[in-house]
Structure 1
Amino acid sequence: MTDLPDQLLSGYRNFMQGRYAAETDRYRELARGGQAPATMVVACCDSRSAPEVIFDAGPGELFVLRNVANLVPPYAPDGEFHSTSAALEFAVQSLKVKNIVVMGHGRCGGIRAALAPGSGPASPGDFIGKWMSLLAPSADAVSGNTLLTEGERQTALERISIRYSIANLRTFPYIKALEDEGQLTLSGAWFDISTGELWVMDRETGDFRRPEID
C-alpha cells in the first residue's frame, strides 16, 4: 500500500525510464534557467483534452491553465480570490507570453451543466453552478433554440464560450494594451474528442475552421 494510486506510480516509472531519460538535459536546463513558454493555453480540466498531449508539447513549452469549461471571467480587481486571473497575470506580466489560446472541446460537462442548470452536479448553490452562471445569458439563448438538436446546442455553446472568454481577456487592461501593440495574440480553438479534429477560430469573423496540417 502506497500513498499514491498504483497507476500514478507506474506512470511515473515509465516517465523516468522514457521521457525524462531522453530529455534529462532539457529538464536540467529548465531547472537552472526557469521557464519561458511563448504560449499560454486556457483549457478545460476535462481529463480527455490535455493541451500538452494534443499539441505534442515538450517540457517548458506551454503554460497551461485548466478550469471547468475553459472560462475566463471578466477583469474584477475586487479583493476576492481569482485563480484564473492570477494565472493570467503571471503568464502575461511575469513570463511575458506572446500568445494566449483559449481551447474548448466537444462533450464538455461544464457546458452541458450550463445548458441544463437543474440537472447533474451543478445545483444552484454549489461552485460549479456559480462558475457556469458566467455563461447564463448565452446558455439561455442557445437552449431556447428548438431548431437545433441537443448536440448542436452543446457544440454551439462550447464555441460561444471560447469567444466569450476571449472577449473577457480584453477586459484585462494589460492584455488589451499588449494586443493593441501587437505584442500579444489571442486565439481560440475547439477540439473534438471523438475524432481528434482541431477547429481554429478566425480572429476576424469568429467562425471555426479546420486548419490545413498536411
Structure 2
Amino acid sequence: MDHAKPLPAYLVSRYHGWKATTYQSNKAWYRRLAESGQHPRAMVISCCDSRVHVTSIFGADEGEFFIHRNIANLVPPYNPDGEYHGTSAAVEYAVSALKVAHIVVLGHSNCGGVKGCHDMCSGHAPQLLEKSSFVGRWMDILRPGYDRVAHLPEADRPRALEREAVLVSLENLMTFPFVKAAVESEYLTLHGLWNDMAEGGVEQYDPASRSFVPL
C-alpha cells in the first residue's frame, strides 16, 4: 500500500500526551479491559457527525458503550442477502454475542445526512438519486420517515425528519428476529434519543405520547 502516509504531527503529539497522562494514570484499568474482554451494557447507534460525542454526553468510560456510527444514525431493515452490512453486523454482534441490555439510537440537530434525504426526496438534490451515490442509496432507508413529514411546512421538515431517523431505525431494529426475540423476552430494551447540539438538550421518545420529550 503506497498511498498511506505517516500521521500528521499534531495527532502524534496528542497521542504521546494521552499515553503519558491518561494511560499512565489508568494502566491497570486498560490492561484489565484488554485481558477480560468487553462487557458493555448498551449499544449506541449514532451519527458519524464529528460534533456528536456520545461518551461525553453520558460521561462514559472505556468499556461502557458498544458504539456504531453511520450517516444519520440509521438502521436498515433486516435483509440477509449476503451483501455488505456493517450496521446489521454490528447489531447482530451487540445482541447475540455481547448480550447488551439496551440499544440506544441517538439522533441530533443539524444532521447533514438527514438534510440530504430531505433535499433528495423533495427534488432538490438530483445527484443523490444517482445509483452511484452511496449516500443517496443509504438515505433511501429514511424515505418512509420523509413520507410521514412531507405534509409539514418545508421549514419544519428537516428537524422533524431528524426525529423520524430515530423512529425509522427503532422500527427497523424490530425486523431483526434476534432483536425482536430479545425485546419480547425482556432481555433487551430499545431507546430513541435526539440531541440538540447547540443547547445541550437531549429528548427521548415516549411511546405513550408518541412524541419526544426532554430528559
* Aligned: 1:124 with 2:130: yes
Of 34, 37, 40, 1:37 maps to 40
Matched-pair contact (CA < 8 Å) for 1:114–1:135: yes
1:159-174 equivalence runs, <5 A: 159-174=163-178
SS at match of 1:107: coil
Matched-pair contact (CA < 8 Å) for 1:113–1:120: no
Residues in 2 aligned to 1:204 and 1:34: alpha-carbon distance in whole angstroms = 38
Of 65, 69, 73, 1:70 maps to 73
What stretches of structure 2 of length at least 5 have no aligned partner? none
Residues in 1 aligned to 2:145 and 2:13: alpha-carbon distance in whole angstroms = 43
Amino acid at match of 2:125: S
Of 136, 140, 143, 2:143 maps to 136
Deviation for aligned residue 1:129: 0.4
Deviation for aligned residue 1:139: 1.8
Structure 2 partner of 1:176 = 180
Deviation for aligned residue 1:141: 4.4
Amino acid at match of 1:23: N
Of 4, 9, 13, 2:7 maps to 4
Q: Deviations over 1:107-155 (max 9, x none)?
A: 0000000000143973523100000011123224424422xx52x3111
SS at match of 1:18: helix
Q: Deviations over 1:82-120 (max 9, x none)?
A: 110001111111111110000000000000000001439
Structure 1 partner of 2:213 = 209
**Which shifted more, 200-209 or 108-117?**
200-209
Structure 2 partner of 1:60 = 63
Residues in 1 aligned to 2:80 and 2:174: alpha-carbon distance in whole angstroms = 14
Q: Tell me the TM-score normalised to structure 1 length.
A: 0.90
Structure 1 partner of 2:26 = 23
Amino acid at match of 1:145: L
What stretches of structure 1 of length at least 5 have no aligned partner? none
Residues in 1 aligned to 2:209 and 2:176: alpha-carbon distance in whole angstroms = 22
Residues in 1 aligned to 2:145 and 2:58: alpha-carbon distance in whole angstroms = 29
Q: Tell me the TM-score normalised to structure 2 length.
A: 0.90
* RMSD, aligned α-carbons: 1.7
Residues in 2 aligned to 1:189 and 1:137: alpha-carbon distance in whole angstroms = 19
Matched-pair contact (CA < 8 Å) for 1:115–1:140: no
**Which shifted more, 89-98 or 7-16?**
7-16
